[in-house]
Amino acid sequence: MLKSLIKKITFYEKIYFLLKDSVIYQLRKKLAGQIANTIYGYPSRNFFIIGVTGTNGKTTTVNLIHRILNEHVAKTMMVSTANIKIGNQDLENNKKMTSLDVYDLQSILAMSKDSWCKIAVLEASSHGLNQYRFEGVDFDFAVLTNITHDHLDFHGTFDRYVRAKEKLFNYVLSNKKQNKYAAFPADDKVGRKRFDDMPFDKKLSYSIIASSSLKAENIKTSTEWTTFSFIYLGKSYDVKTKLVGEFNVYNILAALSVVLQMGVDINQAIASIQWFETVAGRMEHIEKNWIHYFVDFAHTPDALEKTLEYLSTIKWNWRLITLFWAPGNRDKTKRPIMGEIADQYSDILIATDDDPDTENRLAILEQLTMNIKNKQQWKNLFTIPERTLAIKFACELAQPGDVVMFAGKGHETMQLTNFGKREWSDKEEVKKNLGIS
């Protein structure tokens, strides 16, 4: 553990941030990409490759695109934060990375090629793009979900964060493939301004509010379903999905913006969406004794606000209990913002550990709760550092009719505590406390 701590302090904090923008670093990363491509025979040349980037919604959007294309076009592989698929075969993404290391990525692409996959859908994080993990990957299609506050500890400024996302679109525009495709959220001001004028051969915009190529309306949501209609080429289509919340409507529209440009029949796409199951750790719903429990990966201010806004609409006259978090050694500026958002929408707050890692867990929680004004400690604000005890307390506190949100860990199967790594699952911990096998 001491060796790991020294490495984090000396390398990542003191050296890495001095070198990551240097020419030497960039050449080294690009060379690693070329070496990986050479080793595995440039597998991306044999794929139609779709990249999905954005602050929130990437994993669900990737899974939706994969589901539709794998069912109706050709055998498709995908890599997301939560999972990896080769056709219908599930592989665990245990790297704790949204975007795989360049060697791991080229290896999985080569494996998929050998399994006769024709299409690849890749989740592209700002870290992965900035670190050239997609070097040598010839993207055909770039998709943006949204751009909001995140990862400023790594990128330094919001503009640099946006520019990292932009690299995906430049990958598409700069390669030698014949057609260049893109999809943009018209409701996202930053994304629309930054990317809408880029010279793609084919592109669609999608929205709920602004004018766009693909616009949703009449959105109705519950604890089990979301229904809405969308307008495309002057015609209205109805959708019913198990994905709950308005934020998931955006994810569905993003996926439709891809598959429709690839020639998928619109009614077939809608049918695939209707029976699409929630991705692990993305608003997973557990119900017992008339209490609704949700496990979600919400790890940015925008994601937390959208999930809590949705949950506040379904709690009716009961309480929304939110167990929330902030990880260690990450963007500290968003911690008090997360606390303010949780305070705004929740009746009861439980602040606890996420991945404190080598940072003082109590200092993290103090920053997380410093701007909470509407709650009183040990009345409707509880600070319980140990996540096991915090989840147990939340389950015991909940009463019939309440809605309980477990935010932060989502699908993750490991926790980085102040005392080292341990196996972890929010969903399994909740089920254990509820007596559900």
Kindly state whether residue 240 falls inside one of the protein's structural domains.
no
Q: What is the pLDDT of residue 330?
A: 79
Q: Rounded distance, CA 129 to CA 126, Å?
A: 5
Task: Note whether 306 and 410 are same-domain residues.
Answer: yes
Which structural domain, as residue segments, surrounds residue 344? 284-434
CB atoms near residue 392 (< 10 Å): 16
| pLDDT for residue 23 is more than 50 | yes
How far is the first Cα of the chain from the last one, in angstroms, to the nearest whole number? 34
- Largest separation between any pair of C-alpha atoms in the chain: 63
pLDDT in tens, 160-210: 878 888 889 999 999 888 899 999 999 988 877 777 788 899 999 999 999
Q: Give how many domains the chain has, as a whole number.
A: 2
227 DSSP β-pair partners: 220, 240
Domain boundary among 169, 203, 237: 203
| Lowest model confidence (mean pLDDT) among 86-100, 269-283, 288-302 | 86-100
Please report which confidence band the pLDDT of residue 21 belongs to, taking 50, 70 and 90 as the band edges: low
Kindly state whether residue 210 falls inside one of the protein's structural domains.
no
pLDDT in tens, 43-59: 888 899 999 999 889 99
Kindly state whether residue 32 falls inside one of the protein's structural domains.
yes
Kindly state whether residue 7 falls inside one of the protein's structural domains.
no
| pLDDT for residue 342 is more than 90 | yes
Burial of 396 (0-12, 13-18, 19+ CB in 10 A): exposed
Q: What is the pLDDT of residue 10?
A: 37
Q: Rounded distance, CA 354 to CA 80, Å?
A: 21
pLDDT mean over 7-16: 44
Q: Rounded distance, CA 27 to CA 23, Å?
A: 6
| pLDDT for residue 155 is more than 70 | no
Question: What are the phi and psi torsion angles at 119 (to 5°)?
Answer: -130, 140
Record the tokens describing residue 199, joined without a space: 């010279």
Q: Is 312 within 8 Å of 347 (Cβ atoms)?
A: no
Q: Which of 423, 417, 340, 420 is nearest to 385 (CA)?
A: 417
Q: Using only C-alpha atoms, what is the Rg of the chain?
A: 21
Q: What is the pLDDT of residue 432?
A: 96
Which residue, chain included where needed, has tokens 């939706």?
A: 64
Residue type, 133: R
Kindly state whether residue 376 falls inside one of the protein's structural domains.
yes
Supply angle C-alpha 228, 231, 233, rounded to 5: 160
Q: What is the pLDDT of residue 385?
A: 93
pLDDT in tens, 285-339: 999 999 999 999 888 888 899 999 999 999 988 999 999 988 887 778 889 999 9
Average pLDDT over all residues of the chain: 88
Task: Note whether 302 and 198 are same-domain residues.
Answer: no
5 DSSP β-pair partners: none
pLDDT in tens, 221-267: 998 899 999 999 999 999 999 999 999 999 999 999 999 999 999 99
Q: Is 427 within 8 Å of 281 (Cβ atoms)?
A: yes
Q: Is 323 within 8 Å of 394 (Cβ atoms)?
A: yes
CATH at 81: 3.40.1190.10
pLDDT mean over 390-416: 93
| pLDDT for residue 346 is more than 50 | yes
Kindly state whether residue 387 falls inside one of the protein's structural domains.
yes
